[in-house]
Amino acid sequence: MKIDLGLMLTGMLAIGFFAQWLAWRVKLPAILFLLLAGILLGPVVHALDPDQLLGPLLMPIVSLSVALILFEGSLTLRFHELSGISHVVRGLVSYGAIIALLMLAAAAHYFAGLGWDIALLFGALTCVTGPTVIVPMLRTLRPNERIANALRWEGIVIDPLGALFAVLIYEAIVSHHEGHAIGVFLHTVVIGVVYGGVAALVLAFLLRRQFIPEYLQNFGTLAIVLLSFTLSNEMAHDSGLLAVTIMGIALCNMRDVHIDDILDFKEHLTVLLVSMLFILLAARLSWPLPPGVLWAGIAIFLAAQFIVRPMTVIVSSFGSSLSWRERALISWVAPRGIVAASVTALFALRLSNLGVSGSEVLVPLVFILIIGTVVFQSATARPLARWLKVAEPEPHGVLIYGSDAVARAIGKALKEVGFHILLADDDWDGIRRGRMEGLNTFFGNPASAHADRNLDLVGIGQMLGLSTHRERNSLACLHYQQELGREKVYRLRNLAPQEVTHRKAFNERLLVPALFEDTMTHARFAELLIRGWRIKSTGLSATFDWPHFIEQYGSTSLLMFGVDEKGALRVAAERRELEPRPGWTVIVLVPPEESAVS
């Protein structure tokens, strides 16, 4: 049965979305589910044949997609941040990466029988981790701060560096097999560097002078990236990948060039491209694999997991302040990700066209390593972290923006029922009072660059915007929605609904769910505290349930929070009405005893 091209593409889009959603749901890297979906559709049930489906369009689609993925990854390599990373990270992304490259190349040479040229390319492609696989794993792993920072920074920095290594080795292989002299290889490198640098300068000039309106900046960036990629390839074959990598690195290190919106757009576009691309690439795998490839891939995975990574970390962390427990966990976690899979598939396609021996097994070997590291490390890293006693507890802590009487009262009430509370504000008097009342504090705006570097969010799972500054409250809530998730951030209204005119109303995109009942504002809450209302915490039982509580303390009592049987904080907010049950602890604002209605 022949399936329509449009139906197949939309079906892949839906499957890619489901794979990304499933990855978010189970807190695993999406690449795992995308590769498995492609293998299922291609080699297993033979429902998808990318070569037949796309024909001559397959190579251009893969090439342009990989170019955008590399550009997006290279936009994160800011040189000024390298001086702030730890000794162990600098080791992992420099001589540690070279050690890993050489050891992985040796494993591929001896276990899979690859020639040294393809083996070195394999080592360059698989010596990198990356934020797209590390960040989801850290959410599940939850190690201590030092381990998390080391793994996160390693992924951010080594992602574009590994791509650069791979591109250079690939260019050398192509030049050698096409009979080119070293001058041709150097010419290819120079063209890539020049075109990437010039493209970055042109785009930076256009952005600085505001020659491109904001609503066209993402479109213009996309056009310039792909134009530099194709023009560079026209001038020197296969120099385009180097060009876009250099362009991203150069652009993100220029002063006075605002690229945050561009980076957000590229991240969203990359999610779409990765979802479609990996399904296509995995579907091209032949099954059964060539003789010996599966066992060779498993042997390489075991070598990477138990020999290469530990050796790399031992050398890179020599002389650092990390404990042996922290080094052991870092040695265990090194999942491979997007750069390895996408660039491998593109290189394999081109090298097979040149008749390079070993290129036909490059993709299955890399995919086996990706699936092996993601599955094995996801299943074992959390228990290992607990056994080593380097895992953080469940993130049940609460960040509160604000330090006035309302914020402090709510913070103390949550602390009394066992939650870790962090009070953050740039009002020194309020912060001083919070410290005197026994609350952990941070002096500074929690949405500032200073807070990004110095605010310790370990153990923090929710955020409450309780500041008296309406605009700052909104900005801080938006900032922490990205960090903690939309369902974990709430705000206390600064204006009652009837006070919010069209001239005062924020755009819907700038609002997060409001705390408590519709009429409760910050000013009204503060007034009730002055009039003698107090925040009371009470455990509910079968003999003293929520109706009994209301009967005793009055129907005007305001339910604020509930703590369920598992110790999770439930928040009373708009469109989220709580129904307290026996076994819960409720946190309620109750009127003075003489005002209670029986």
In which region does residue 563 sit, left (phi positive, over 0), alpha (psi from -120 to 50) or beta (all else)? beta
Which tokens in the block code for residue 76?
A: 């994160």
- Mean pLDDT lowest among 204-208, 345-349, 577-581: 345-349
pLDDT of residue 496: 63
pLDDT higher at 402 or 141 = 402
Between CA 504 and CA 14 the distance in angstroms is 40
Between CA 499 and CA 481 the distance in angstroms is 26
pLDDT of residue 452: 67
Q: Please, which pLDDT band fits residue 598 given cuts at 50, 70 and 90?
A: very low
Q: Is the pLDDT of residue 302 over 90?
A: yes
Helix (H) or strand (E) holding 116: helix 116-126
Between CA 372 and CA 374 the distance in angstroms is 6
Report pLDDT digits (tens) over 407-421.
899 899 888 888 888
Assign 3-class secondary structure to 372-395: HHHHHHHHHHHHHHHHHCCECCCC
Which tokens in the block code for residue 137?
A: 């794993």
What Cα–Cα distance (Å) separates residue 419 from each residue in 398, 410, 519? 7, 11, 27
Report pLDDT digits (tens) over 469-518.
877 888 888 878 777 777 788 888 877 655 555 454 554 445 677 888 77
- In sequence order, the 6+-apart residues with CB closer than 8 A to the CB of 294 are 364, 368
Q: Is the pLDDT of residue 590 over 50?
A: yes
CATH fold label, 397-595: Rossmann fold (3.40.50)
Residue 286's CB is within 10 A of a number of other CB atoms, namely 12
Query: What's the burial of 462, exposed, middle or buried (CB within 10 Å: 0-12/13-18/19+)?
Result: buried
pLDDT higher at 378 or 100 = 100
Q: Which residue has the tokens 């009055």?
A: 554
pLDDT of residue 67: 80
Can you say how many angstroms the Cα of residue 580 is from the centroid of all Cα atoms in its chain?
Answer: 35
Q: Is the pLDDT of residue 100 over 70?
A: yes
Mean pLDDT of 115-121: 89
What Cα–Cα distance (Å) separates residue 429 from each residue in 402, 403, 404, 426? 11, 8, 9, 9
Q: Helices 240-252 and 58-74, interaxial angle, to 10°?
A: 30
Between CA 100 and CA 108 the distance in angstroms is 12
pLDDT of residue 314: 92
Q: Which residue has the tokens 């040189």?
A: 79
Q: According to CATH, what is the number of the domain 5-388?
A: 1.20.1530.20
Residue extents of the structural domains in the chain: 5-388, 397-595
Assess whether the region 5-388 and the region 397-595 belong to the same CATH fold.
no
Phi, psi at 443, each rounded to 5°: -90, 110
What are the respective helix, strand and coil percentages of the chain, to the nearest 5?
65, 10, 25
Report pLDDT digits (tens) over 377-409.
888 888 898 898 887 766 778 888 888 888 899
- In sequence order, the 6+-apart residues with CB closer than 8 A to the CB of 119 are 105, 106, 108, 109, 112, 358
Report pLDDT digits (tens) over 280-291.
878 877 777 778
Q: Please, which pLDDT band fits residue 179 given cuts at 50, 70 and 90?
A: low
pLDDT of residue 83: 55
Mean pLDDT highest for which of 54-58, 87-91, 143-147, 463-467? 463-467
Between CA 506 and CA 300 the distance in angstroms is 55
Between CA 401 and CA 425 the distance in angstroms is 6
Can you say how many angstroms the Cα of residue 306 is from the centroid of all Cα atoms in its chain?
Answer: 26
Task: Report the alpha-carbon angle 24-27-28, nearest 5.
Answer: 100
Question: In the predicted model, what is the mean pLDDT of the chain?
Answer: 80
Which tokens in the block code for residue 386?
A: 């607990």
pLDDT of residue 131: 67
Report pLDDT digits (tens) over 315-331.
988 888 888 998 999 99
pLDDT of residue 32: 79
Between CA 197 and CA 41 the distance in angstroms is 40
Q: What proportion of the chain, given as a percentage, has pLDDT over 90?
A: 8
What Cα–Cα distance (Å) separates residue 111 from each residue in 104, 119, 204, 344, 548? 10, 10, 47, 19, 71
The 489-491 sheet, strands edge to edge: 440-443, 421-425, 397-401, 460-465, 489-491
Report pLDDT digits (tens) over 16-66.
888 888 877 777 777 778 888 888 888 888 888 887 887 788 778 877 887
Mean pLDDT of 161-190: 73
pLDDT higher at 166 or 132 = 166
In which region does residue 389 sit, left (phi positive, over 0), alpha (psi from -120 to 50) or beta (all else)? left
